[in-house]
Chain A
Amino acid sequence: MRRTTSRLLRGLALVSALALGATACGSSDDDSSEQKQVSAADIQAALKKGGTVNVWAWEPTLKTVAADFQKKYPKVKINLVSERSGDKHYTALSNAISAGKGVPDVAQVEYFALGQYSLTKGLSDLAPYGAEKLASKYTPGPWNAVSDGDKVYGLPMDSGPMAMFYNKKVFDKYKVAVPTTWDEYLEAARKLHKADPKVYIANDEGDAGFTTSMLWQAGSRPYKVDGTKVSINFDDAGAKKFEAVWQKMIDEKLVAPITGWTDDWYKGLGDGSLATLTTGAWMPANFTTGVPNASGDWRAAPMPAWTKGDKASAENGGSSLTLPTLGKNKELAYAFVEYANSGDGVATRVSEGAFPATKAELESPAFQSKKFEYFGGQEANKIFAESAANVASDWSYLPFQPYANSIFNDTVGKAYVSNTKLADGLKAWQDASIKYGKEQGFTVE
């Protein structure tokens, strides 16, 4: 076991330059201080004493939260550094951990990337600080993402229960019914594209996050993770459901060849050439600032189901705040994370447009009855909250998901540009992920 772990760590170090620092200092930390319980009184004492907490996070609402926190605890300084871009953020974090220098005290880590850091002991276990008592506060999806049994690697900051956003104006114009199942979705895609060849029901050029979320909803569980034992298998009933529908979407050229998050994409969402967007419930904020010209055109709806009446949903996106093992001022850092993601900070962040991961906020009448001017006055949060409650909690990502996602376009992505079938693409993704996992010292089946 010990041998496997060290081989695993060495392997990961080669690629992400991540593990060296973490093992050198992380393991000793783990044994001595990590087991120690930190009481609320310890945290209060630290807050009174004061100090600086370095936070690496791009979540925009944290700015207000940090200011409020400093007002409440004048001796604490929150030094918020935002990188504002996922890839660069993880590269910088991994580099800092491997160098053992300049590691932030608090780091924002998305759910899909948590495994990479927690497995190499790059993140502190928050359970001794009392984090495990917060479990019941959060919806199952996000909580499952940050904890494995008795260890807690971060507190959920936001969540992304999936919903389908659709351009009502376009659907009304061509008198197409809003789809409630994926079969109806396919049908609607055909009708819309036939009515106006410029209109596509969605854009897709092969997106790892979207695909895994679709598999999640369809009941597919390709990844099983138990410590360093991993299995990867895309050959199950859920994956077949997804392949059957989406292969037709690709074959009949019903998805627009536009990459998400580009200005073309924003343009398409604005001018009606992209009729739906199935993504996380955090999207309204991006709609409001990125596509202001289509205000009033769009509505939210539940994600289409695989069988009529089925309510299963999935998550897309969402991130947590974590305490890197090599960070300092642990008590203060934890106090800030708890304030931002479980305490008073949550209300502030929700009021600024963040999508919560906490049950109380999701279920509160004020949140649910919020009228979205952008969606023509619709109370869209009701749909999102219901989706959050229907997310299956048994999904897990790979401990090297960021790497797996990075090779998605070389494998599954081929189905979008050549005659490769989606099923073959997933098989190729599976093989490449298994190969990589073995090279990193995981036991892969």
Chain B
Amino acid sequence: MTTSSVATPAPAKSAPRLRTPRKYSPGRPKRSKLLTALMALMVLYTVVPLIWLLINSTKTQAGLADSNGLWFANDFAFWDNIRDTFTYHDGIFGRWLLNTLLYVVLGAGGATLLAVLGGYALAKFSFPGKRAIFAVVIGAVAVPGTALAVPTFLMFSKMGLTDTPWAVIIPSLVSPFGLYLMWVFAAEAIPTELLEAARMDGAGEVRTFFQVSLPLLAPGIVTVLLFTTVATWNNYFLPLIMLKDPDWYPLTLGLSSWSSQAQTIGGDVIFNLVITGSLLTIVPLIAVFLLLQKYWQSGLAAGSVKE
């Protein structure tokens, strides 16, 4: 608004003439007040819970009950809360954090690896049954993981794997959406001619993959890694039915068990630690997002413009 008035100090009469071409100028999209307002509402909707979390992690249990949710209480217990979160119950929160990291590194890392290998193969090699695999993968994307949790539990129970970390890691390795994404990405990002050239020069398939294809796939890999990391980090239902031993809980399950302590006769009520723990739980995820953002964005834009 200010830029346009500075750039056009012309009288009001000429304004309509100036505005008309702007409507069609791709570099300067027209602003809609309605959309801006909607956007502001959405921002509020997404940011308020975060602000709430930040503010309330500074309160003690007493302060939580006494004060308004969106403003500070008289006590500032942020550092105490963080210390208590890590020391409560012999520091089990730290153990849960490590468990979550383990599940993410092995689960999400493994899922990404499998997706990259599979996606690349599906995109760049032709073999019988490819169409059937395509149908299965697309179908699998549509099946929510929650629906598969109970059958998976029964299967793992038969194999004697429940209540072990494998029960969480192995199902996390399967990411149909990641595979599909890698497939589409590999098809777009790696020119078949390049592969042919590499083969002509005498490179084997393995060398071609690692030295030619992999660097080109990097943005896609980061995108898939982000998706699987978020999914594994937030996973709740699968560990809930698979794990019984709190020593193997991920953060999601651990925090929920702290929260339900308030509903137990004689149980400690530690809403302040649940809130602080929740804040600590999302910090690594935010950090990962910020660090990988540029790769992720370039990944999303790939193939959108013909060059």
Residues of A at the B interface (CB closer than 8 Å) are: 58-61, 81-86, 92, 99, 101-102, 158, 160, 261, 263, 266-267, 270-271, 280, 282, 285-286, 289-293, 317, 319, 353-355
Contact yes or no, A85 B260, CB < 8 A: yes
Are B266 and A353 in contact (CB-based, < 8 A)? Answer: yes
Q: Is the CB of A60 within 8 A of B267?
A: yes
Asked if residues A293 and B65 are in contact (CB atoms below 8 Å), the reply is yes
Q: Whole-angstrom distance from the CB of B162 to the nearest CB of chain A? A: 8
Contacts of B65 in A (CB 8 A): 263, 266-267, 270-271, 291, 293
How many angstroms from the CA of A286 to the CA of B265 in the assembled complex? 7
Interface size on B, residues (CB 8 A): 26
A280-B264 Cα distance, complex, nearest whole Å: 12
B245 within 8 A of A: yes
Residues A286 and B269 in contact in the complex (CB < 8 Å), given A99-B157, A293-B62: yes
Tell whether, in the assembled complex, residue B66 and residue A293 are in contact, meaning their CB atoms are under 8 Å apart.
Answer: yes
- Taking CB atoms and an 8 Å cut-off, the chain B residues in 266-285 that contact chain A are 266-271
Q: Which of A261, A293, A353, A354 contacts B263 (CB 8 A)?
A: A261
Bound: A191/B41 CA distance, A: 43
Q: Which residues of B contact A286 (CB under 8 A)?
A: 265-267, 269
B130 within 8 A of A: no
Q: Within the assembled complex, what's the spacing in Å between the Cα atoms of A292 and B60?
A: 10
Which B192-250 residues have C-beta < 8 A from chain A?
244-246
CA distance A266 to B62 in the complex (A): 10
The answer, among B245, B257, B266, for a CB contact under 8 Å with A59, is B266
Q: Would you give the shortest CB distance from A86 to chain B, in whole angstroms? A: 8
Complex contact A266–B246 (CB within 8 A): no
Instruction: Identify 19 residue pairs between A and B in the complex whose beta-carbon atoms are under 8 Å apart, listed by A's number.
Output: A60-B267, A60-B268, A81-B245, A84-B267, A85-B257, A85-B260, A102-B162, A102-B163, A261-B262, A263-B65, A266-B262, A271-B65, A282-B266, A286-B269, A289-B269, A290-B61, A292-B61, A353-B266, A354-B266
Q: Report B110 CB to chain A, min CB distance, Å.
A: 27
Which chain B positions have C-beta within 8 A of A267? 65
Q: Which residues of B contact A102 (CB under 8 A)?
A: 162-163, 244
Interface on B for A, CB 8 Å cutoff?
A: 60-66, 157, 162-163, 244-246, 257, 260-271
Contact, CB under 8 Å: B266 / A270: no
CB neighbours (8 Å) of B61 from chain A are 289-290, 292
Give the most central of B64, B244, B271: most A CB within 10 Å.
Answer: B244
A residues less than 8 Å from B157 (CB atoms): 99, 101
**A308 to chain B: closest CB distance in Å?**
31
Q: What residues on B are CB-neighbors of A355 within 8 Å? A: 266
Contacts of A92 in B (CB 8 A): 244
Complex Cα spacing A82 to B92, Å? 13
Contacts A286-B266, A319-B265 aside, 6 further interface pairs with beta carbons under 8 A come to A83-B257, A84-B260, A85-B263, A92-B244, A160-B265, A271-B65
Cross-chain contact B264 with A270 (CB below 8 angstroms): no
B265: chain A residues at CB < 8 Å are 158, 160, 280, 282, 285-286, 317, 319
Cβ contact within 8 Å between B271 and A82: no
Q: In the bound complex, what is the Cα–Cα distance between A158 and B264 (angstroms)?
A: 13
Kindly state the separation between the CA atoms of A101 and B61 in the bound complex, as whole angstroms: 40
Minimum C-beta distance from A300 to chain B (A): 16
Q: How far is the CB of B281 from chain A (nearest CB, A)?
A: 18
Among A83, A261, A266, A289, the residue within 8 A (CB) of B268 is A289
Return chain A residues, CB-CB under 8 Å to B244: 81, 83, 92, 102
A270/B268 in contact, CB under 8 A: no
Expressed in whole angstroms, the minimum distance between the Cβ of B304 and any Cβ of chain A is 46
* CB of A389 to closest CB in B, whole Å: 21
- Given the complex of chains A and B, what is the CA–CA distance between A317 and B62 in angstroms? 26
Q: How far is the CB of A91 from the nearest CB of chain B, in Å? A: 9
Question: Which residue of B is nearest A283, CB measured?
Answer: B265
* Nearest-neighbor residue (CB-CB) of B245 within chain A: A81
Residues of A within 8 A of B64 (CB): 263
Query: 8 closest Cβ contacts across the A-B interface?
Result: A290-B269, A293-B62, A270-B65, A261-B263, A85-B260, A292-B62, A289-B269, A285-B266
Q: Chain B: which residue is nearest A110 at the CB level?
A: B265
Contact (Cβ within 8 A) A266 B264 = no
Give the residue name and chain of the B residue nearest to A267 (CB). B65
Given A81-B246, A85-B264, A353-B266, CB of A263 within 8 Å of CB of B66: no
Report the minimum CB–CB distance from B111 to chain A (whole Å).
28
Residue from B66, B257, B271 within 8 A of A84 (CB atoms): B257
Q: A263 with B263: in contact, given A81-B246, A84-B257 (CB under 8 Å)?
A: no
* Complex CA–CA separation, A282 to B263 (angstroms): 13
* CB closest residue in chain B, given A80: B246
In the complex, A319→B264 CA distance in Å?
A: 12
A270 touches B62 (CB 8 A): yes
**Cα of A266 to Cα of B261 in the assembled complex, Å:** 13
Task: Evaluate contact between B266 and A84: CB separation under 8 angstroms.
Answer: no
Interface centre among B246, B260, B267 (most CB of A within 10 A): B267
- Tell me the bound Cα distance from A354 to B257 in angstroms: 20
Please indicate the chain B residues that have their CB under 8 angstroms from the CB of A261 in the complex.
262-263
Chain A nearest CB: distance from B78 CB in Å? 18
Q: Are A84 and B269 in contact (CB under 8 A)?
A: no
Q: Which of B62, B265, B267 has the most CB of A within 10 A?
A: B265
